[in-house]
Structure 1
Amino acid sequence: MKIVLKALIVAGALLGTAVPALAQEVLVSTQRRGGDAGYYGGIVATSRPVVALKRMADYAVITVRVSGDTRDMTTRRNDLKATIRNMIAAAAKGGFELATGDYVLEPLTLANYEALPFNGDGRPDTDQTYFLVKLKLAPGMTLKLARDRMDAFIKAVPTAGRSVVRNHEGLTLSVVNPDQYRGQIIELIAADAAMAAGKFAGGSGVDVSGLDRPVEWARAEETNVFLYLPASYVIRKR
């Protein structure tokens, strides 16, 4: 049986040639859009191929809202910034990380936290901002346990003035550098194609396409995610 790969970059990977990967952390709240060659093109629900790598995500992630309603704007924003600094310090001590981003995540640190935007919440003399709290997942950790730990962390943050920290959205997951799993996914596709071709008498070959596309992802159950390539194959007679 012969499997023909219609992508030179993938053929190079199978031969041991290094293939560049995008070392980015991405949210897995929905599916990565099929046909999008970059990470910033948007998200829509797409169908997932049958062949996919299922693994535990790297982080549990939750959005938090930090708000304040002190009448004086300078005092209000200074209080918000002080509360955010307290969160950064507490996260480092408690095993949490802070980040920003709707799709690709970037660390939130003392070096960049002042770039967070402040917006009113519809009431006079108010400001609010949003960012993410992350917890590294470990084997056996459930979503409930992760959520309980994150809730406890958020409630324990020392706040300044009239600042308030609250959960804003439900818990989701993130994966660091999805493209690092390309080789494992290709092995799964090759094994599935070989198995399917072997079911046909007389010897068959397989043409595989789509292996040169970026890795895509979707939520699975609990703390797991599916990582896959938008690949397909056709079995043909030799």
Structure 2
Amino acid sequence: MKRLILTAAIMAVAMPLPAAAQDTIVVTGSRQDRSVGNAYFTANNGPSAIGVTRKADYFVTPLYVSSDSRDRDARAEELFAMLSATIDRAANEGITLVAGSYTLKPVTRANMRELPVRGGNRPDTSRVQIYARIPLQGEAASVRATAKDIAEFVKGIPATGRSFIDVGTTGLAIDDPEQYRADVVRHIAKESTRYAAMFGSGYGVEISGLEGDLYWQQSSETEVFLYIEHDFTIQPK
């Protein structure tokens, strides 16, 4: 029974992934929010203890490019003029600009006007949200240093009219989280089998839920924790 179940799980994770799975995913996006609401918890109210912790691929800092001119059309033109200047400066600074509430796509002059323009935090304000993405490299990488670099980057961007940029809190992003599904399953198989062995050689384990969604959330300044909601039952072979 145990062998059949675990074999089926490994076959499931080996199936081809959809194209969207190859994208960069912001950890502070909807999947993190979903996992916080739906994950099962340990006794100390933490997330599932069986999963994989790994270093993120990027720091991502939200940038809100805005204008508070009275005229709506003027606001749009001003914020897109400043966004265009942001794109130019980012190319010179080695910073990648991306956008998306969940999956992050590059922002260019060609597609910048496709970004949704929303109201800002003040009346008569329009804004678009993008992210400044910087690869997370080296042991000395930190949110503080990244935030400082982004602040200096923003200071050098020329404003048009009443346009301005607000800087958000730096978070994390990972490339293609589904590539870690098999590793998560291996950890689940190893741990559940170890628990079954505590009851003696006559016991095995039945695992369910491994075909479910892969979840992730930030676990430290530079790391993310990936896991699958699952159940396992220890029973006689």
TM-score w.r.t. structure 1 length?
A: 0.81
How does 1:89-238 map onto structure 2 within 5 Å? 89-119=88-118, 121=120, 122-124=122-124, 126-140=125-139, 141-167=141-167, 169-238=168-237
Aligned-pair RMSD on alpha carbons?
Answer: 2.6
- Opposite residue 191 of structure 1, the aligned amino acid is K
SS state at 2:180 partner: helix
Report percent identity of matched pairs. 29
Determine if contact 1:13/1:19 at 8 Å carries over to the other structure.
no
Q: Are the structure 2 counterparts of residues 236 and 45 from structure 1 closer, same or farther at C-alpha, using a change threshold of 3 Å?
A: closer
Determine if contact 2:197/2:204 at 8 Å carries over to the other structure.
no
- Opposite residue 142 of structure 1, the aligned amino acid is S
Determine if contact 2:39/2:229 at 8 Å carries over to the other structure.
no
Report what 2:48 is aligned to. Answer: 49
Residue 42 of structure 2 is aligned to residue 25 of structure 1: no
Instruction: Find the aligned partners of 1:81 and 1:88 in 2 and give their Cα distance.
Output: 10
Q: Are the structure 2 counterparts of residues 233 and 78 from structure 1 closer, same or farther at C-alpha, using a change threshold of 3 Å?
A: same
Unaligned regions of 5+ residues in structure 1, if any? 35-42
Report what 2:43 is aligned to. Answer: none
- Tell me which moved more, 19-28 or 104-113: 19-28
Unaligned regions of 5+ residues in structure 2, if any? 41-46
Off by >6 Å, runs of 4+ in structure 1: none
Question: How far 1:104 sits from its partner (Å)?
Answer: 2.4
Determine if contact 1:4/1:207 at 8 Å carries over to the other structure.
no
SS state at 2:22 partner: coil
Question: How far 1:164 sits from its partner (Å)?
Answer: 1.4
**What is the CA deviation profile of residues 139-196 of structure 1, one whole-angstrom value per residue up to 9, with x for unaligned ones?**
32111112112222122223333321221x3222122211110111111111112222
**What is the CA deviation profile of residues 15-67 of structure 1, one whole-angstrom value per residue up to 9, with x for unaligned ones?**
xx543252232222272535xxxxxxxx7363332111001112212222222
Determine if contact 2:39/2:48 at 8 Å carries over to the other structure.
no
Q: Are the structure 2 counterparts of residues 49 and 19 from structure 1 closer, same or farther at C-alpha, using a change threshold of 3 Å?
A: farther
Question: How far 1:76 sits from its partner (Å)?
Answer: 4.5
Question: How far 1:123 sits from its partner (Å)?
Answer: 4.0
Instruction: Number of aligned residue pairs: give it.
Output: 225
Instruction: Find the aligned partners of 1:117 and 1:187 in 2 and give their Cα distance.
Output: 41
Determine if contact 1:3/1:207 at 8 Å carries over to the other structure.
no
Instruction: Find the aligned partners of 1:66 and 1:80 in 2 and give their Cα distance.
Output: 6
